[in-house]
Amino acid sequence: MNLAFLNEEGMRLFGHIFPDGQVPVKHILTPRLHVKGYDGLVYLVDWTKLDTSQQCQLTDFFVQNRGMTRNEFASLLAESHLTIPLRTSLVRGAASDTILRHAL
């Protein structure tokens, strides 16, 4: 599994969802995202690796803080192949257990 580790700011925003600060991501490489209001590097949170509680809390976050309806959020998920962007400024690092397994 690939993980991003939340920094202090990330924990303030998402620590209630990821209390250990570990966020499952699709890749440890960070693609550039160009959307209205943001242009920068992101990690892609792997929706399929989240438990139901985390999925509900993230849905609520986007609905409340990004002005989206639940249907708009569901469409965003479908369009992004079940990933959610996480700004690199909220992360202190990332690791892959695949790399760790090969290193041992």
What distance in Å separates the CA atoms of residue 49 and residue 22, rounded to the nearest whole number? 12
Instruction: Give pLDDT, residue 66.
Output: 85
Q: Which helix (H) or strand (E) holds 76?
A: helix 70-79
Q: For the chain, which residues make up each domain, given as ranges?
A: 2-95
pLDDT tens, 9-59?
A: 999 999 999 999 999 999 988 877 776 666 788 999 999 999 999 999 999
What distance in Å separates the CA atoms of residue 30 and residue 8, rounded to the nearest whole number? 20
SS3 state at 9:
helix
Asked whether residue 5 carries a pLDDT value surpassing 70, the answer given is yes
Asked whether residue 100 carries a pLDDT value surpassing 90, the answer given is no
Instruction: Give pLDDT, residue 76.
Output: 87
If one compares 60 and 39, the residue with the highest pLDDT of the two is: 60
